[in-house]
Amino acid sequence: MKPIIALVGRPNVGKSTLFNRLTRSKDALVADYAGLTRDRHYGDGRIGHKPYILVDTGGFEPLIDSGVMYQMARQSEQAIYEADAVIFMVDGRNGVTPQDRLIANKLRMVDKPVYVAINKVEGVDKIIAVSDFYELGLDKMYPISASHGDGIHKLIDDVLRGFKNAAEEENANADRITFAVIGRPNVGKSTLVNTILGEERVIAFDEAGTTRDSIYIDFERNDEKFTIIDTAGIRRKGKVTEKLEKFSVLKAIKAISEAHVVVMVLDAHLDIAEQDATIVGYALEAGKSVVVAINKWDHLKEDERQRIKDDVKTKLHFLDFAKYNYISALYKKGINELIDSIRGAYHAAFLKLSTPKLSRILSEAVNRQPPAYKGNFRPKLRYAHQGGSNPPLIIIHGNSLHTIQKAYTKYLERSFRKVFDLTGTPLRIEYKNSD
């Protein structure tokens, strides 16, 4: 399991600088999904074979008790509560401030490892910079420079030391189709999980631990093995508690990071919310397959159905590769098709793309519509091969490829998708210049 690291500290100490440095390589990928404004507070990082999830809590302002700042402080507290470890950042050039002391007081009461990152100490005597901060009463001190990169590797290395290697666990589960049921409270997640499990043979059941944890349920269907990651927490028959659970972005993100397929559950009667976009953004960033399930499709008139279909497709246009399923979890409609979509999305992510076929599709696409000149350069696309799976990566070799426009890459993607059944999985395309 990927550990979650919360980054806290008062404003201006350098949190976003560190966050960007640690998650930078992934940012560019999401930028490719036009129209999806990414919530920049959650990101994936990796050191060696150890992946982790980093949460930038924004400005922690425990002094202010109303308005936006108050909301931010509450979010920070929730992030600290849900994280596995905390990096508390301070400004090494400023010394300890009253706000630092307040945050430290809070963190000393938290039952998880806290690492103090003393930032902006490039060109400063490290021992002196650190010694100021011992008064905070926290002992894991790391002098760093977020903007120069000094000391960061050691910091993250130590933060991750106590956690199991997530990559190894991933391999152990490679033969199960693991899907996470994600969505806002009340869209019908637990009803859906109950309906799916009502028809299948449940093998194992793992109770949730903390609020952040989801329940993992193994089941088999036609000799195929599945695991549901149930973020709602299954409600047993006859014991339906109507309490509205609090939506936790981190819980959703954690579930997504452990799933092969993300089943995004929406309520046909409700608009797409910002939270939905945040989660989808994270799923895309993590390269996960996605299936959209529009629930409560019962008792709707035909014209309403058409309007909702159009609306969802427009608003989620960056999910044009996903299969849309219109279901009723309560009346058990469309459930088999939904599971087939999940299977399809899983297998698509691991599809083998043959080199001759890829190169043929490429040359046909280029003949039909060559890339545009840029200045004196016309990109020359020579051949393609598969560079990875889950999600599939296609590497295209040639010359002057840096001048290729996004729209042209999208065109190539469509050409590949016409031939290979990649429904449900994102597809990545990279260029390799030979000149």
Interface residues with ligand GDP (CB under 6 A)? 9, 11-17, 59, 119-120, 122, 145-148, 183, 185-191, 232, 295-296, 298, 328-330
Is there a contact between 226 and 202 (Cβ–Cβ < 8 Å)? no
Is 263 flagged in the annotation as binding? no
Count the alpha carbons within 13 Å of 62 in the hemisphere toward its beta carbon: 16
Smallest distance from ligand GDP to CB 173, Å: 24
Which CB atom, from 12 or from 433, has the smaller least distance to ligand GDP? 12
For 26-148, list the strands marked E by DSSP.
Answer: 42-47, 50-56, 85-91, 114-119, 141-143
Smallest distance from ligand GDP to CB 266, Å: 10
Is 188 flagged in the annotation as binding? yes
- Give 166-203 as a DSSP string: HHHHHHHTTTSEEEEEE--TTSSHHHHHHHHHHTSEEE
Which CB atom, from 270 or from 351, has the smaller least distance to ligand GDP? 270
Smallest distance from ligand GDP to CB 163, Å: 25
Which CB atom, from 38 or from 397, has the smaller least distance to ligand GDP? 38
Task: Pull the structure tokens for residue 58.
Answer: 């924004």
Is 173 flagged in the annotation as binding? no
Is 180 flagged in the annotation as binding? no
Smallest distance from ligand GDP to CB 269, Å: 9
Is 382 flagged in the annotation as binding? no
The vertex-235 CA angle with 234 and 236, nearest 5°, equals 110
Is 113 flagged in the annotation as binding? no
Is there a contact between 61 and 69 (Cβ–Cβ < 8 Å)? yes
Is 43 flagged in the annotation as binding? no
Which CB atom, from 146 or from 290, has the smaller least distance to ligand GDP? 146
Smallest distance from ligand GDP to CB 126, Å: 13
Is 64 flagged in the annotation as binding? no
Smallest distance from ligand GDP to CB 2, Å: 23
Q: State which H helix or E strand residue 253 sits in.
A: helix 249-257
Among 290, 281, 416, 275, residue whose Cα is nearest residue 355: 416
**Given CA atoms 65, 70, 76, 78 in this order, what sign does their dihedral have?**
positive
Which CB atom, from 118 or from 427, has the smaller least distance to ligand GDP? 118
Is there a contact between 146 and 18 (Cβ–Cβ < 8 Å)? yes
Q: State which H helix or E strand residue 255 sits in.
A: helix 249-257
Is there a contact between 286 and 253 (Cβ–Cβ < 8 Å)? no
- Count how many residues are written for the chain: 435
Residue 109, classed as helix, strand or coil, is: coil
Among 8, 9, 48, 40, residue whose Cα is nearest residue 24: 40
Which CB atom, from 293 or from 396, has the smaller least distance to ligand GDP? 293
Burial of residue 381, with CB atoms counted within 10 A of its CB: 0-12 exposed, 13-18 middle, 19 or more buried = buried
Which DSSP symbol is given to 369? S
Is 13 flagged in the annotation as binding? yes
Is 48 flagged in the annotation as binding? no
Smallest distance from ligand GDP to CB 30, Å: 19
Which CB atom, from 2 or from 296, has the smaller least distance to ligand GDP? 296
Smallest distance from ligand GDP to CB 75, Å: 14
Which CB atom, from 32 or from 132, has the smaller least distance to ligand GDP? 132
Question: What residues form the annotated binding site?
Answer: 9-16, 56-60, 119-122, 183-190, 230-234, 295-298
Question: What residues form the annotated binding site for GTP?
Answer: 9-16, 56-60, 119-122, 183-190, 230-234, 295-298
